[in-house]
Amino acid sequence: MEVIGNFNDLKLYTAIGSPFDIFYGVDAFFEYGDAKVTLDITTNPHKTEHKADYIIHEDLLTDEGRQTASKVIADQLKKDLARQQEKFAA
């Protein structure tokens, strides 16, 4: 696995019950530098529409599911970070 920078720079915020949750459907988000990934966490297995970047269903809360979700989130953070770096380099 490729590691960018320091894991101490990776931040996880909860937004449950906040205006971010109520108005934008975001329960939590990861931040790494200028890159952000928003999450909608649900126990509703039929929920498909979401405003957050990713929806996390209950089945992703298993060990195998967490590994899959972690990889997807890490990949998205890398893409966002690369996009930010390209923007500042231009």
Domain positions in the chain: 7-89
Burial of residue 52 (number of CB atoms within 10 Å: 0-12, 13-18, 19+): buried
The tokens for 45 are: 């297995």
Q: How confident is the model at residue 3 (pLDDT cuts 50, 70, 90)?
A: low
From CA 4, how far away is CA 6, in angstroms rounded? 7
Q: Does position 1 have pLDDT exceeding 50, yes or no?
A: no
Q: What is the pLDDT of residue 23?
A: 92
Q: What is the pLDDT of residue 14?
A: 93
The tokens for 71 are: 């990889």
Q: Does position 90 have pLDDT exceeding 70, yes or no?
A: no
pLDDT in tens, 12-71: 999 999 999 999 989 999 998 888 889 998 888 888 888 888 888 887 778 787 788 888
